[in-house]
Structure formats: structure tokens, C-alpha cells
Structure 1
Amino acid sequence: MRRNTSILMLSVGHGCVDVYQGAVASLVPFFVAERAYSYAAVSGVVLAASVLSSVVQPVFGLLTDRWAMPWLLPVSTLLGGLGVAVSGVCEGYVPTLACVAASGLGVAAYHPESARVARLASRGSHSGMSWFSLGGNLGFALAPLLVSAVVSTGFGLRLSPLLVVPAVAGSVLCLPVLRSLRVPGGAGGGSRVPAGSDDRASFVRLSLAVVCRSVVFTGLSTFVSLYAGQRLGGGTAAGTAALFVLYLGGAVGSVLGGRLAGRWDRVAVARWSYLAAAVAVAGLVTVPGPVLYLFVALASIGLYVPFSLQVTLGQDYLPSRVGTASGVTLGLTVSVGGLASPLLGGLADATSLQAALLPLSLMPVLSWLLFRTLPEPRVPAHLAGAREPDPGEGAGQLPVPPRQPGA
């Protein structure tokens, strides 16, 4: 299998998993409409999807630093899909939380190992990782359309079991990629790549910046559909459109981030992107009328330009713990943002949704300040020779660097 084909299939598989992160927020208006959930209650649903990820994903990262676990890709994809699919037919609030939490567990298990495999497939290139991230962001973008197509019928949430289809497709799709890359598996199949010099202080500051980014994006993904419906008077349709624009802007930002990092260093690109995002979020909350959609797109692009760059930065700050770095930057720090959702929901119940969203414009500024303290790390030696994939190139089968025993 050609190298670019492997990256493409990994990207599509990533989208089949991340559609379930977007699906949780996309189901929020339907939970409100059919089950009369309050803002605080739907915030709890979003929290349930992220809280297990915040605890478990770094654990899976530690495990994948010690042993390759390629079987996690198909298994976790199925778990992520089943949790969301069953959540719409559960009886009661607690079973719904449990199903959504199970989906979050599947998503958490998927990302550290998939990021390790994508790093090998892309040979550490920023462009390759940005295409891998693009798949996830497209999954986010398609989630509101998928959920709306399935649930916006006369049957409502009762048709939610149909949402398992992308999970089945994604789990099947990743199998030939894993075989072609000869990714080792099992307890004796190998362990992590050669260690480098870790910069833990920079990694901690990077993680704090990702937390701030996560707070604002999770807040927007939870409430922008309801906010757009209120401000524009378009109801569920206006909200679904706003959520689609939010996620589609993330897809554009991911690819743009890889392109920009080819010309300037990753830290500088991320720093300026966060400043632009702060302005866009403020405009989203304060400027009335249909121009709201423009600010939603600009905020999403600004928040997602640094996304794949933060993953590779974390891996380069902790070259001896690539799985752990991926688990933190893709999991723990992202999921911590979900902890702020109930606070925003409670504030919205007490005041207004606009008043609750306004403080989010400050979070990208904090990320910008943290990035001002970060150095641009060196690319690890075993990936230093990587070059950007050429779409027309017929690359041969990709060799997998050996992984040394022990962690």
C-alpha cells in the first residue's frame, strides 16, 4: 500500500471515530426538545463524554509507549459508535450518561495508538499529521448533518441506533492499513521508539495552552447551536448550520496549520492563531445578525490551526513518551475543557447564554501568552529525514522503526 494511501485511510478512520465526539454535542438540541433537559443537564451529557477520556486516554498512552496495541483501533472505534447509538434509546438520564461515557472511553482508547501509527505513516511530517487531523475534524463537521439526517424525522431519537454505521465502516477500514504498515501487536510484539531528550517544562506549558483552547472550543461546540437558534430565530436548523460551520472551520484550520508550519515554525503559527481566535470569539458573541456564521468559522479556524501542530510539538517535547504525549495533547487536556461546560450551563441558566459565552474570548489570549514562553523543539533523529508527502508519489511499503523493550 502506498504511503499516501495509508495516511488517507488513517485520516478517514479518524473521521469515523471523531464523528462521535461531534455527535454528542449535535444530540444536545434533541435531548432538550424531546426530554426537556436543562442547560445544566445537557452540559452533564457533554461532560460524561469527556470525563473518562480525561482519565483514561493518558493511561492508554502509557500502555502504547510500552507495547504496540494496533487492535485498539477497530475495537475502540466500535465502542465509540455503540455508546452514541444506544444513548438515544436509553430510558432515563443516568443510562444516557453511561452510554455517552462508554462512547468517550472508546474515543479515548483510539487516539494515542492512532497518533503513534499516523506519526510512523507520515514520518513525522507536519503536513501528514495535519491530514490525519483533518479526518477527525471532518468527522466533527459531518456529525451535525449525520445526526440531523437520522434524528430529525418523525421517529426522533428512536432512530439513533443507525448512528453506529460509521463505526462499523471505520473499524473495517483500518485493518488493511495496519497489515500494510506491519504495525506490531501483542505483549511481545515490540515497544516504543528510541528515546530522546525530554523537555517536560515546555510540555507542561503546552498542555496548559491546550486546556485553555479546549475550554473555549468545548463551550462553543456545546452551546453554539442553541445560541445561533436564539440570536437568528431559526430554531434547530439555524443551530445545526452553526455547528456544521464550527466543525467545518476546524477542518480548514487543520490543513492550513500544516501548510503554515512548512513556512514558519509551529510555535509562531500557533501563537498568532490564538490571537486571531480571541478576536473571532468576541465577535461571535457580540455581533448580531447572520454575520455570526462568519465569526463562528473564523473562531474555529483560529482554534484549529494549532491543533495538529500541538500534537507534534508534544511528541517532540517528549520524544521518549510519544504515546503519553499524544494521550495528553489529544485526550487529557482536550477533555479537561469539558469540565467547564457545566459551569457555563449553570451560568447560562442563571443569566443568559450570551453572558455565559462572553468569557470564552479570554481563553485564547491565555493560550497565546503560554505559547510566548515555548521554544521550537528539534525533530527526533529517526524522523529528521522525513519530507512532505507528494500526492503523486508512488511510495513503497513503509518500514516501521524498531521499538526498544521496556518503558
Structure 2
Amino acid sequence: MMASAHLVDDLYQGVVPAMLPFFVSERHYSYAAVAGLTLAATMLSSVVQPAFGVWTDRKPRRWLIPAGMTTAALGVGAAGLFPGYAVTWVMVAISGIGIAAFHPSAASAARRAAGDSNRAMSLFALGGNVGFALGTLMATPVLLWLGLRGTALLILPALAMAAVLVKWLAPVLDGPVGARHPSTMPKGRDNWPEFLKLTSVVVVRSIIFFGLSSFLALYFINGLGTSEVVGGAALTVFLASGAVGTLLGGWLADRFGPLVSIRYGFAFCLPAMGGLVLAPNWQVALIFVVLTGVGVFVPFSVFVILGQNYLPNRVGTASGVTVGLAVTVGGLFNPVLGTLADATSLHFVLIVLIGLPALALVLAAFLHDPRTAKRASTQLTNPAAQPDR
């Protein structure tokens, strides 16, 4: 249920990029104006997500899950109906705030359903990835058919999913009255130093993701001499491979531990990205795009559950930072990479990006598994709990 809700909510993150060409063609917005809409949709959303996380830590507010999703849909729907740029910007920003309201509470509810299962949490993360991709696929034919007025139709998936959540979310998560499910939420003391170290790893991973997402298609077109179709296909392959990496990361974390999943993912990125840079043609490069996509996404879902374990008393805050703020901070480095590409080449930028998995690997080496530390502390305070040798 939570993976499906995540899919529907993040549809509206994918709808906004699909709307931008129609704003240019129908309303004659400038590229700067369109960039301002992108900023309203993404930057504002991610910055306020930690605030919603702090708010939900004080008292569980599950109503934010359907309410946030519906707000995101209504904002997108209204953006296509009002011609003025200022009103459109506000509507897109409201949609972003709705998405921000959804994620901390939804991640907390997903943790309630998943318990300590990284594989279950990876399914929740995958829902968001699929939703973003489906948003563009769903919106484009509707907008081609009806123009920007068609955004009103895009509200329907959110209304349907919100109705399901209002009726079934509490019974499914908590169990029927009189037979409540036991709590599966993390317990213990908050470990802010470890959480801040994890945040630094999330930021580095985000720089890698945004850099590849922004320049991969352009590298295939301008660096390897392919068509725009092949360049776009390379980006699609990268994101599709990420779906496999997301699920693989959850499986590795459950079998070998979250830190193994994170470190192996970044270690795998090094030869994969090296092969991408050294590939003699686009056919070989596409193979390494698949491998890079898997490696970049392996740590993705593990970050959320590990951050929640570091801050067991502030699960909403941990979710808001790992899902929202840290990702945006990573995206802020994209203009630096763009400037570097203008001054040198896209090939050189990809070479620079290879150093980032190595940096993330070094930072991840200083992380500690909170479950291991908790067991060690229990054995020190209670020698009787130590196993017989």
C-alpha cells in the first residue's frame, strides 16, 4: 500500500517536467521562467521536508499522507488552468509543498509496515522511482490531446489513492481494533554524529545521480556521436537499471548488513563509471550505463532505514533529511559541473564524477551499524546476555 501511495505521489514530480515544453509553446514562457517553475517544484519541496519531519516527530500525523498527495495533485492541476505566470508559479510551489508533506509521514508509515526489512523498504523507494517515470509518460499524451487544460484530469489518480488510504491505511498498518500489531519502529537513543556522517554520504551520492542524469544523454550525443533518440534511451536505461539496483540494495542489506550494501554499491560504481568513460563506442558504453545505474541505486533505499535507525526518536526528521534536503544539496552542485563542462568537456566531467564514488566509499567507511553497536552495549551492561562460548 505504501509503495503504491509513493508511486502515485511521485507521479506529480514527473508531471512537472512534462508540462514545461507546453508552457513554452502555449504561453510563450522564457527558458528562465521555466527554470523558475522547476525551482518552485523541487527546491522548495526538499527544503521544507525536514520541517514536516520535525512536525510529525512531535505527534504522528498520518493524515498528511493522503492530504499531501492530494495537495500535490491539485497544485499541478491548477497550474495548467491559470494563465498568469505568478499564479502558475504559486500552484507549482503548492504542489511541491504537498509532496514535501507526504514523504516524512509516508516513510515513517512504510517503516511501520516494513519493520527492519530493507527489502520491504526498497520496494517503497522503488514506488517513488517508478512514479516519477510514469508521471512523464502519463502526462505527455494527455497534454498533447487537451493542452495545459488537461492537467485537471491528472488529479484523478491522487483522489483514488487518497480514498484508499483514508479507508484502509490505519487498519492495514495497525491491525483491527482489539488486535493491534506490535510496534516495529526503531528504539534507542538518537545518534546525531552518525546521522550527520550518513547525510554527507547521501549528498555525495546525490551529486553523482544529478550529474549523470543531467549529462549522460548529452555525452552520448556530443561525445559519442549518437542521435538524440539514443541519448534519451541511454538516460532511460540508466533509470531503469536503477530500479534493479534499488531492489538489489535492499536484498544485500538484509543478507549482509546495510553498510555492506552501501559500500559495495559505491565500490561497484568505480569500475562501471570507468568503463563508461573509456568505452570506444556507444554500444559498449550502454553496457556500462546499465552497470553504473545498478551501482548508483544500490545504497538508495538503505539510506532511509539506516537514517531512521540512527534517529529512532526522530524518524520523521531522518526521513525528511535523507529523502529531501540532502538530495537537494547534491543537486545544487549541478551548475558547478555544467560550468566545468563548458570550460572543458563532458568527457572530463564524467572523469571527475568517477572520484565521487571513491569519496563516498571513504566516508561510508566511518559509518557504524547501529544494531551492532546496540548489541555490543547490551552485552557490556548485561554480561549474562553474552552467548556461551
Please report the TM-score for the alignment, with normalisation by the length of structure 2. 0.79
User: Which of 297, 300, 313 is the equivalent residue of 1:304?
Assistant: 297
More helix by share: 2
- Cα RMSD over matched residues? 3.5
User: Which of 371, 374, 379 is the equivalent residue of 2:364?
Assistant: 371
Change (3 A) 1:339 1:114: same
Provide the secondary structure at the position in 1 that maps to 2:241: helix
Shift of residue 352, structure 1, vs aligned partner: 5.7
Provide the secondary structure at the position in 1 that maps to 2:333: helix
Identical pairs, percent? 45
Per mean C-alpha deviation after superposition, the further-off stretch among 312-321 and 87-96 is 87-96
Equivalent residues in 2 for 1:342-361, closer than 5 Å: 342-345=335-338, 359-361=352-354
Partners of 1:330 and 1:337 in 2: CA distance: 12
Shift of residue 240, structure 1, vs aligned partner: 4.7
Shift of residue 109, structure 1, vs aligned partner: 0.9
Assess if the C-alpha contact under 8 Å between 1:70 and 1:183 holds in 2: no
The residue aligned with 1:136 is 128
Change (3 A) 1:271 1:380: closer
Change (3 A) 1:33 1:213: farther
1:277 partnered with 2:280: no
Partners of 1:111 and 1:100 in 2: CA distance: 17
Partners of 1:13 and 1:380 in 2: CA distance: 34
Change (3 A) 1:73 1:277: same
The residue aligned with 1:202 is 194
Assess if the C-alpha contact under 8 Å between 1:144 and 1:240 holds in 2: no
User: Which of 304, 307, 315 is the equivalent residue of 1:314?
Assistant: 307
Change (3 A) 1:346 1:129: same
For 1:245, give the aligned amino acid. Answer: V
Assess if the C-alpha contact under 8 Å between 1:29 and 1:226 holds in 2: no
For 1:170, give the aligned amino acid. Answer: M
For 1:335, give the aligned amino acid. Answer: T
The residue aligned with 1:78 is 70
Partners of 2:88 and 2:218 in 1: CA distance: 20
The residue aligned with 1:113 is 105
For 2:316, give the aligned amino acid. Answer: G
The residue aligned with 1:253 is 245
Unaligned runs of 5+ in 1: 1-8, 185-191, 382-407
Partners of 1:171 and 1:269 in 2: CA distance: 34
For 2:199, give the aligned amino acid. Answer: S
The residue aligned with 1:163 is 154
1:50 partnered with 2:54: no
Provide the secondary structure at the position in 1 that maps to 2:371: coil
For 1:246, give the aligned amino acid. Answer: F
Equivalent residues in 2 for 1:166-205, closer than 5 Å: 166-181=157-172, 195-205=187-197
Change (3 A) 1:84 1:322: same
Change (3 A) 1:146 1:362: farther
Assess if the C-alpha contact under 8 Å between 1:13 and 1:173 holds in 2: no
Assess if the C-alpha contact under 8 Å between 2:109 and 2:173 holds in 1: no
Partners of 1:168 and 1:334 in 2: CA distance: 28
Shift of residue 106, structure 1, vs aligned partner: 1.5
Shift of residue 358, structure 1, vs aligned partner: 5.1
Assess if the C-alpha contact under 8 Å between 1:116 and 1:322 holds in 2: yes
Partners of 2:339 and 2:36 in 1: CA distance: 11
Provide the secondary structure at the position in 1 that maps to 2:332: helix
Change (3 A) 1:180 1:285: farther
The residue aligned with 1:101 is 93
Unaligned runs of 5+ in 2: 176-183, 375-389
Assess if the C-alpha contact under 8 Å between 1:19 and 1:140 holds in 2: yes
Please report the TM-score for the alignment, with normalisation by the length of structure 1. 0.76
Shift of residue 378, structure 1, vs aligned partner: 0.8
The residue aligned with 2:327 is 334
